[in-house]
Amino acid sequence: MASGARRVPVGARASGPIGYRPRVPTTSRGAAWAPTLGRSVRLLRDFRYEQPDPDRFYRALAEDSVGQVGTYTDLDGATVLDVGAGPGYFADAFAAAGARYCAVDADVGELSGKGRSPGRNTVLGSGLDLPFADGALDVAYSSNVLEHVPDPWRMCAEMVRVTRPGGLVFVSYTVWFGPWGGHETAPWHYLGGARARRRYVRRTGHEPKNRYGESLFPVTVAAARRWAAAQDTADVVAVLPRYHPAWARWVSAVPVLGEVATWNLAVILRPR
């Protein structure tokens, strides 16, 4: 770890600014958000609908994500930046929590995925060079984007840069050696990303949406832990499997096992 960095134990809740007491967010069902086994099972069930019914899947994921972020900081009135926002599901969920939401995405097609034009609080730009001033935001958030950029840790550093001291950075991504690391080429990515991509082309006659080496890159749990320990601009609040129940969060800290069993990793930081 870089000199002067303060680590909070993995899985711990952020202490937050002086005087802040983390609240327990509620879902649209009226239930308090909690990392329970039931919540993990519901997300797994919803994941089956990502292709046939994306509205169902992404709305459930967005609501869950806002609940999870809300356990680390108060979102009511907070300015939230969503890096790699996509077609607006997260915008709706953060707005419902009272946040002032803005988004940055490099792909107009992704932003228009729900059949509507990008909102007025949407900026076209790269996560590797965020068009925001230092410390301009309360929360920087990104979901399942890191594995799609060629320099993931530069993107993380940029998110820390644009977030005010005491704010929150929440980054999550699909782990390469997890069961869905290859996205639509899984599970053949275990034999190599390039090989899995060629196999997909042979089988379907066209390239996958997520092309290994171009728009899909192998990001591991170990790499995230190394980067988090080496950087010295933010305190590390937690590095944990995003979708696991609380009692199973330890798996991401185990070498090899964590790479396979984590599925999706969340790195949570508080800039200094």
What's the pLDDT at 121?
Answer: 80
User: Cβ neighbours of residue 49 under 8 Å, at least 6 residues apart?
Assistant: 56, 57
Q: Is the pLDDT of residue 265 over 60?
A: yes
Q: Say how far apart CA 80 and CA 140 lie, in whole Å.
A: 6
- Average pLDDT rounded to a whole number, residues 95-111: 82
Question: Tell me: the pLDDT tens digits for 169-185?
Answer: 999 999 999 999 999 99
Say which residue the tokens 């080429």 belong to.
185
Burial grade of 174 (CB within 10 A; 0-12, 13-18, 19 or more)? buried
pLDDT band at 25 (very low <50, low <70, confident <90, very high): low
Q: What is the structure's pLDDT at 110?
A: 53
Residue 22 DSSP symbol: -
Angle (nearest 5°) at CA 272 between 129 and 22: 105
Residue type at 237? V
Strand order in the sheet with 79-83: 122-124, 100-105, 79-83, 137-143, 163-174, 264-271, 234-241
Per-residue confidence band for 133, with pLDDT thresholds at 50, 70 and 90: very high
Residue 9 pLDDT grade (very low, low, confident, very high; cuts 50, 70, 90)? very low
What confidence tier does 192 reach under pLDDT thresholds 50, 70, 90? very high
Mean pLDDT of 10-39: 56
What percent of the chain has a predicted confidence (pLDDT) above 70?
82
DSSP-derived 3-state class of residue 202: helix
d(CA 82, CA 122) in angstroms, rounded, equals 9
| This prediction's pTM | 0.85
Q: Cβ(182)–Cβ(155) under 8 Å? A: no
In this predicted structure, what is the pLDDT of residue 19?
Answer: 34
DSSP E strand boundaries for the chain = 79-83, 100-105, 122-124, 137-143, 163-174, 234-241, 264-271
pLDDT > 80? residue 5: no
For β-strands 234-241 and 264-271, DSSP reports them as: antiparallel
Q: What is the pLDDT of residues 208-219, one digit of tens each?
A: 999 999 999 999
Q: How far apart, in whole angstroms, are the C-alpha atoms of residue 116 and residue 147?
A: 26
- Residue 1 corresponds to which amino acid? M
- What's domain 37-175+219-271's architecture? 3-Layer(aba) Sandwich (3.40)
